[in-house]
Amino acid sequence: MPEKCKQRERILATGNADIPGLPVMAIRGHLCFRCFGPPQQTKNLLRCGGCRRAVYCSKECQKLDWTTVHKKQCKLLAEVNKKEEEHYQKSRSWEQYRSYLLPAVRSIRDASPEENTYFIVQAQPYCSSCHRTYIQLSAPSRKISLKPCSLCRLIFTCAECTPSHPDSVCSAYQSFTLVEAFRIQFFEDTGKASPATFTEEPRVSRKRLADAENTWYDYYAHISDKEMVKDVIAKDFTAISEAAREVSPVEEQEAQERMRMFLLLCTDTLTMPLTILAGLERLHLDAKPELNIHLLGATGRELMALSSFEEIMHLVPGLKSVHVTAIGPGSWTDAPEKLDKGDARYFPAQDMSCCTECTQQGRKRSVASWRGVYHDFVNSAVYDEKKERPDLIVAFNSGIVDGDDADTDWAPTIKVILDIGVPSLFTSYNEHELVNETSMWKKKGARSLVEPQENRWRGLVPSPEFLDREGDIWYQNWGWYVVQK
């Protein structure tokens, strides 16, 4: 087994929860499903004969993956393959492909809670012209080859079609590939999947986010404490700067590029506290010494990022305490096994530790959790209008109109949000979600406190969309707005 794999297995063996998901580059046939490495020497990757989807760099990786993960996966995937054959069409539109794919992904998600399994189907390789999948094209009765684009390697064309995809999509996929490669390397180097960085010392003087002309560059260089980006990273964060390229030796440029990628990935977590702070500034709530925030519909990623909310205190010297209640069916509870489906449960406020400096200043952070939907929380005995009424309601990437989560019914929550009349900040993954949500709120009679717009504090990491619009790229908190009755 290659040394790279061994290192990864050692990290996995520690039981670390923060592990990266299966890379799209693996699902699309370029990297080993187990160690995320490329084929060894110039040999091709080995393909699993059962599902024809999983690929491996070596027999060792294949064996290890079979016993730990793939055995169960393989059966489910082989069943999907049978359905693909039943749905075979010589050519179909994206809409036709998508309307086949959505229920297929949902059914596999219901059968296996493991995220990677349905993602293998969701992100599967297909011809971007005729929308036949690799599984269909490579069936023994057809044996039609499927070739990746030589530049982005993630978009494919079959031997019977002509390659075509817009340059903008190709280059977005290329940057996505760089991000994936960096993430894999970062995990091997550090044992962590999600890079994080914050302002180490709380600021003593206030600098407003609204004044950061070059958003993330100015945040890192002037508002936070990452002076090393000055003159080294381009203002739009897409590359290291011209100046750095002219004067730095090659190895130094490589280190600078790694720093850029690291800080770029950190924006995916920092987008949460910074979008909230941008909202507080716009609503003139940033002078309040105490803040109470209701965080709606948070899932694993947002819950893990709760510790990053201390960043708000570090940027706002006058802020003494922040209380967050996380509310949603995915929020935590002390006894999940006691809950029936649909049962709600409150988990009272717990103090969260602050850094030494904040603790000495007597600043406080706390979090509470309501596992259940928001309208049940507001109508429950726990919710006391005087004590609990939040300053701000926040829902990140809620998919309140376009979400593919069919069981979530937002209608009663929307009503409650309007009834209690608190400013509510929403974000969306992309532009058309933003447009659809805006028209929904208008119909309900909400007014805009912040007009729907591209979020200056969105995450900078591009992610390809596989179920909605073909070639779309989404970003954490791409768009935002604030509404109130």
Any contact of residue 354 with Zn ion (CB under 5 A)? yes
CA 346, CA 296: separation in Å to the nearest integer? 14
Tokens standing for 24? Answer: 């799209």
- How open is the CA angle 420-426-428, to the nearest 5 degrees? 155
Interface residue with Zn ion among 355, 422, 440, 449 (CB under 5 A) is 355
Q: Minimum Å distance from CB 167 to Zn ion?
A: 8
Any contact of residue 24 with Zn ion (CB under 5 A)? no
Tokens standing for 463? Answer: 């992610």
Number of amino acids touching Zn ion (CB under 5 A): 25
Which residues, in sequence order, are bridge partners of residue 369?
326, 347
Any contact of residue 319 with Zn ion (CB under 5 A)? no
Instruction: Output 355 or 440, the one with its CB closest to Zn ion.
Output: 355
Instruction: Output 13 or 381, the one with its CB closest to Zn ion.
Output: 13
Provide the phi-psi class of 264: left if phi over 0, else alpha when psi is between -120 and 50, else beta: alpha
Interface residue with Zn ion among 31, 54, 326, 400 (CB under 5 A) is 54
Check if the beta carbon of residue 234 is closer than 8 Å to that of residue 241: yes
Q: Which residue has the tokens 């069409």?
A: 89
Q: Minimum Å distance from CB 347 to Zn ion?
A: 24
Q: Minimum Å distance from CB 54 to Zn ion?
A: 5
Q: Minimum Å distance from CB 162 to Zn ion?
A: 9
Tokens standing for 61? Answer: 């990786």
Stretch that binds Zn ion, among 20-28, 40-48, 179-187, 463-471 (CB under 5 A): 40-48
Q: Minimum Å distance from CB 111 to Zn ion?
A: 15
Residue 4, H or E segment: helix 3-13
Interface residue with Zn ion among 48, 121, 272, 482 (CB under 5 A) is 48
Interface residue with Zn ion among 24, 64, 158, 232 (CB under 5 A) is 158
Q: Minimum Å distance from CB 479 to Zn ion?
A: 26
- Of 294, 315, 305, the C-alpha closest to 268 is 305
Any contact of residue 312 with Zn ion (CB under 5 A)? no
Any contact of residue 306 with Zn ion (CB under 5 A)? no
Interface residue with Zn ion among 45, 104, 130, 232 (CB under 5 A) is 130
CA 162, CA 386: separation in Å to the nearest integer? 64
**How many CB atoms within 10 Å of residue 20?**
16
Any contact of residue 358 with Zn ion (CB under 5 A)? yes
Residues in the chain: 485
Instruction: Output 82 or 447, the one with its CB closest to Zn ion.
Output: 82
Q: Minimum Å distance from CB 93 to Zn ion?
A: 12
User: Which residues 70-129 are close enough to bind Zn ion by CB under 5 A?
Assistant: 74, 127, 129
Q: Which residue has the tokens 């069916």?
A: 329
Q: Minimum Å distance from CB 384 to Zn ion?
A: 29
Q: Minimum Å distance from CB 21 to Zn ion?
A: 16
CA 80, CA 111: separation in Å to the nearest integer? 12
Interface residue with Zn ion among 61, 212, 270, 392 (CB under 5 A) is 61
Any contact of residue 152 with Zn ion (CB under 5 A)? yes
Q: Minimum Å distance from CB 141 to Zn ion?
A: 16
**How many CB atoms within 10 Å of residue 127?**
24
Please, how many CA atoms are within 13 Å of residue 180, restricted to the half-sphere of its CB?
25
Instruction: Output 219 or 410, the one with its CB closest to Zn ion.
Output: 219
Q: Minimum Å distance from CB 60 to Zn ion?
A: 7
- Of 195, 190, 150, the C-alpha closest to 174 is 150
Strands 321-328 and 345-352: what pairing? unpaired
Helices (runs of H) and strands (runs of E) counted in the chain = 18, 14
Binding mask 166-185 for Zn ion (x = CB under 5 A): ----x---------------
* Residue 150 burial (C-beta neighbours within 10 Å; 0-12, 13-18, 19+): exposed
- Of 479, 460, 482, 456, the C-alpha closest to 209 is 456
Interface residue with Zn ion among 20, 50, 191, 471 (CB under 5 A) is 50
Instruction: Output 155 or 298, the one with its CB closest to Zn ion.
Output: 155
| Residue ranges in contact with Zn ion by CB under 5 A | 5, 32, 34-35, 37, 48, 50-51, 54, 57, 61, 74, 127, 129-130, 149, 151-152, 155, 158, 161, 170, 354-355, 358
